[in-house]
């Protein structure tokens, strides 16, 4: 009977995992529907800790869950719209066009560092360095060293991947607190100087919360995207040549393919606020739904992709979310990735992976990323002075 009950919930594109009392959506059409469904709420952090942690454990991480729960990505309704609207206005197309020369400068410096490095690991030298410099510039955090930034964001990412681990919660809370302290202590702007932050809500605590969230996403997910994109170019025959020949358009197409196949975030969580039906599955109020951004069941031992889209179709990309929760920083992440691929392919036309041990991945199932990417850059193209 138990096996039959489990089989009855294995509907195409959505599967229930009864041992954890949650559903996983893998079909891309259903995933889009789930992300736009108002009865599936984004505020999952507190309900998840209540479901999977004991009362003493919840009490121990209460300061952390309180801090992270103020991130607008975990809100719905008017509060979410109000906070997100400011970030969208600040990171406008006009602002990004002004920012592009700055991004190109950071990319050029990172590639120069790679060219002269004794160990050509592009993760610390390039794909971590570029988003870090962009965020330092964006948030005015010039006093913070790059490794410190990633110590913070990776501690938070580890907590999101394993909320049940007390050590992960302790490190994440320390990171959130340090981020807040640094943001509060930033040097004041010159009188009359404008900033993209002017578009954010005036409430100090909510503004700091939004800036912390932007810092996390702008580092952790963007760095992952850049590393995966660079890996794709050097590991895929003909990819670099297409970018050298066709420029920004080919680089943008490559970025979209990477976002589809290896998104920096594997899934997002929702919780049902009332009973509903999704794709023929009856989801009860209080049940969790993991929406896969890869088409794979993140809870299955063997993650086979749901056959809902063609292998080369990038139109179904959901790496930056969908509908009301589409990421305000998506255009900035794409800009960094496109500029990096253009400049890298132009500068290192003969680059390739360095040996059989050139890559290594982290152990985070929620925020997967390359932690090592060794590249033999080959002879560079002479630069014009």
pLDDT confidence band for 306 (50 / 70 / 90): very low
pLDDT for res 95: 93
pLDDT for res 364: 94
Res. 344: pLDDT tops 90: yes
pLDDT for res 189: 75
pLDDT for res 192: 64
| Pairing status of strand 267-272 against strand 40-41 | antiparallel
Res. 310: pLDDT tops 50: no
Q: How far apart are CA 149 and CA 65, in angstroms?
A: 20
Res. 2: pLDDT tops 60: no
pLDDT for res 323: 80
The pTM score is 0.91
pLDDT in tens, 250-286: 999 999 999 999 999 999 999 999 999 999 999 999 9
Which residue's entry shows tokens 């994109």?
Answer: 229
The arithmetic mean of pLDDT across residues 53-68, rounded, is 90
Which residue's entry shows tokens 């919930």?
Answer: 9
pLDDT in tens, 102-150: 999 999 999 999 999 999 999 999 999 999 999 999 999 988 999 999 9
pLDDT for res 235: 96
Measure the N-to-C terminal CA separation of the chain; round to a whole number of Å.
75
pLDDT for res 260: 92
Q: Which token pair is 47?
A: 């309900």
pLDDT for res 4: 38
Q: How far apart are CA 170 and CA 101, in angstroms?
A: 39
Higher-confidence residue of 277 and 195: namely 277
Contact predicate 78/324, CB 8 Å? no
**Mean pLDDT, rounded, of the chain:** 89
Q: Looking at the DSSP assignment, which residues form a beta bridge with residue 212?
A: none
Q: Which long-range contacts (CB under 8 A, 24 or more apart) does 353-361 make?
A: 353/231, 353/234, 353/235, 354/120, 359/231
């Amino acid at each position: 009977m138990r096996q039959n009950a489990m089989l009855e919930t294995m509907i195409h594109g959505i599967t229930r995992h009864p041992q954890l009392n949650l559903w996983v959506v893998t079909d891309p059409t259903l995933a889009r529907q789930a992300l736009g469904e108002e009865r599936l709420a984004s505020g999952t952090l507190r309900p998840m800790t209540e479901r999977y942690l004991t009362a003493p454990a919840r009490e121990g991480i209460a300061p952390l869950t309180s801090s992270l729960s103020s991130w607008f990505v975990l809100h719905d309704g008017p509060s979410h719209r109000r906070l997100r609207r400011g970030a969208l206005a600040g990171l406008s197309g006009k602002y990004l066009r002004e920012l592009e020369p700055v991004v190109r400068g950071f990319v050029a410096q990172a590639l120069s560092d790679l060219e002269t490095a004794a160990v050509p690991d592009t993760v610390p030298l390039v794909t971590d360095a570029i988003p870090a410099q962009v965020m330092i510039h964006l948030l005015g955090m010039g006093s913070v060293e790059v490794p410190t930034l990633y110590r913070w964001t990776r501690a938070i990412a580890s907590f999101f991947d394993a909320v049940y681990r007390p050590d992960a919660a302790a490190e994440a809370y320390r990171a959130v607190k340090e981020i807040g302290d640094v943001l509060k202590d930033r040097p004041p702007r010159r009188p009359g100087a404008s900033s993209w932050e002017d578009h954010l809500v005036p409430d100090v605590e909510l503004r700091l919360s939004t800036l912390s969230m932007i810092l996390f996403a702008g580092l952790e997910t963007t760095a992952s995207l850049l590393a995966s994109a660079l890996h794709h170019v050097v590991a895929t025959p003909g990819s670099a040549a297409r970018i050298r020949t066709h420029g920004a358009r080919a680089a943008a197409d490559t970025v979209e393919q990477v976002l589809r196949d290896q998104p920096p975030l594997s899934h997002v969580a929702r919780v049902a606020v009332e009973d509903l039906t999704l794709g023929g599955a009856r989801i009860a109020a209080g049940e969790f739904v993991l929406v896969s951004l890869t088409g794979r069941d993140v809870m299955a031992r063997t993650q086979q992709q749901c056959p809902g889209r063609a292998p080369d179709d990038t139109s179904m990309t959901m790496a930056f979310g969908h509908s009301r929760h589409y990421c305000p920083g998506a255009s900035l992440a794409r800009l960094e990735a496109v500029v990096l691929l253009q400049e890298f392919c132009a500068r290192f036309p003969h680059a390739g992976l360095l040996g059989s041990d050139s890559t290594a991945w982290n152990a985070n199932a929620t925020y997967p990323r390359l932690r090592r990417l060794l590249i033999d850059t080959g002879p560079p193209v002479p630069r014009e002075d």
